[in-house]
Amino acid sequence: MYRIIKDYRDNETLRQSFNRLAEKTFGLDFEDWYRNGFWGDSYNPYSAVVNGEVVANVSVNRTDFLYDGKVLHFLQLGTVMTKEEYRKQGLIREIMGEIEKDAEGKADGIYLFANDSVLDFYPKFGFRKSAEYQYGKKVFNAGGCRLEKVVMDNPAAWERLEDAIGRNLFRGKLDLVRNPGLIMFYVTKFMRESVYFHKGTDTFVIADVEDGRLFLHNVFSAEVKETGQVIEWFGKEIQEAVLGFAPTDAEGYEVTEIREEDCTFFIKGDGLQILEGEKLRIPSLAHA
């Protein structure tokens, strides 16, 4: 017999069991994120547990977004997984029911990103497919790069970035707030080489550059507010810039619907309808 257990991140046995299943299913291990102090209250696995072992899971990531001067409270579902011998027993359905019960009246919407193998599954819970939009443009910068790389492989670098996140004034139109742990998950694992620093304005930039194309994930600055200024810092090698967020000023940008292979966006709740209506996107660093 199984039990659904949540809020257990400090339980060594359950956390390690969760990590083993995540490693086997997705190649992910959350232990270093926990040990480095970034697994906060915003990330909460809901797990079916049998004899002290996590056999199925749906994680809830609380993602608050600042939009039009007010904070919207969303929940993102992820790390959906079931141990092979426990599949097709309704465990995920039971977990989803528990999540729905806990979320009632507390969230403006729930969303997730699903792979192609489960596209018929989530509509059973009231989710529907939704569009997201991406902003990009050709650019013609002059001069060299005015940024230095900051490799995110040590506590001193992490502390500097966390401080910048706390002092940030740079905003997208739909901007993740109150969840620095999710950003730190990215930069301490997959994006250690994707962080840049502009000394003159004490600004951190998270971006990927490849073959003249800049993908600008986010900017953290107590001084800089203009996206165009940040793009210029990358110098003349950049011919195209794509944003991982919806800019507050979209003039000059081409807007296209995001289409990613094996990644379908599902939403539930009236609050998330603004994404299609206002042509927004979930910021790239807010995917869990």
**Tens digits of per-residue pLDDT, 138-183?**
999 989 999 999 999 999 999 999 999 999 999 999 999 999 999 9
**Tens digits of per-residue pLDDT, 183-205?**
999 999 999 999 999 999 999 99
Token pair of 259 as six digits: 């289409």
pTM score, two decimals? 0.95
Confidence of residue 25 (pLDDT cuts 50, 70, 90): very high
Of the candidates 180, 168, 179, the residue with the CA atom closest to the CA atom of residue 205: 168
Q: What is the pLDDT of residue 288?
A: 82
**Tens digits of per-residue pLDDT, 227-259?**
999 999 999 999 999 999 999 999 999 999 999
Cβ–Cβ < 8 Å for 166, 180: yes
Token pair of 257 as six digits: 């619907």
Q: What is the pLDDT of residue 117?
A: 87
Residue type (1 letter), 54: V
